[in-house]
Amino acid sequence: MINFIKYQNENMSQKVRWGIVGLGSIANHFAKDLELVPNGVLSGVASRSIDKAKKFANEYGASHFFGSYLELFESDVVDVIYIATPHTLHAELAILAMEHGKHVLCEKPMGINKLEVEKMVEAAKKHQVFLMEALWSRFNPTIQKVKQLVAQGAIGKVSYLNATFAFYALGRDENGRVLNKALGGGTILDIGIYPIFLSYLIFGKPSQIQASSNFNALGTEVQTAMIFSYSDAQAILYSGFTSASEMKTEIAGTEGSIFIHPRWHETQSYAIKKEDELQHFGLPTIGKGYTYEIEEVHRCLAENTLESTLWSHQNSLDLISMLDEVRKQTGVIFTSET
What pLDDT shows up at residue 14?
Answer: 86
Provide the pLDDT for residue 121.
98
The DSSP secondary-structure symbol of 59 reads: H
Sign of CA dihedral 136, 332, 22, 100: positive
Q: Which residues contact 133 (CB under 8 A, 6 or more apart)?
A: 106, 107, 108, 109, 110, 311, 315, 316, 319
Cα 75 to Cα 188: distance, rounded to the nearest angstrom: 35
Query: Do residues 307 and 131 make contact, with C-beta atoms less than 8 angstroms apart?
Result: yes
Distance separating alpha carbons of residues 49 and 59, to the nearest angstrom: 16
Per-residue pLDDT tens digits for 278-290: 999 999 999 999 9
Give the Cβ contact number of residue 49 at 10 Å: 12
Q: What is the pLDDT along the chain (338 residues), one digit of tens a residue?
A: 333 333 333 344 589 999 999 999 999 999 999 999 999 999 999 999 999 999 999 999 999 999 999 999 999 999 999 999 999 999 999 999 999 999 999 999 999 999 999 999 999 999 999 999 999 999 999 999 999 999 999 999 999 999 999 999 999 999 999 999 999 999 999 999 999 999 999 999 999 999 999 999 999 999 999 999 999 999 999 999 999 999 999 999 999 999 999 999 999 999 999 999 999 999 999 999 999 999 999 999 999 999 999 999 999 999 999 999 999 999 999 999 98
Report pTM. Answer: 0.95
Per-residue confidence (pLDDT) for residue 1, from 0 to 100: 32
Q: Which SS3 state, helix, strand or coil, does residue 281 take?
A: strand
Cα separation of 79 and 72, whole Å? 11
- Short-list 110, 53, 100, CA closest to 80: 100
Dihedral angle, C-alpha 302, 303, 307, 311, nearest 10 °: -90
* Residue among 301, 261, 304 nearest 283 (CA): 261
Contact (CB, 8 A) for 131 and 106: yes
Instruction: Determine the 3-state secondary structure of 21 from DSSP.
Output: strand
> Does residue 213 sit in helix, strand or coil?
strand
Angle between helical axes of 141-151 and 193-203 (0-180°, round to 10)? 30
CA distances from 63 to 11, 53, 123, 163, 255 (A): 22, 11, 29, 41, 54
Contact 229, 210 (CB under 8 A): yes
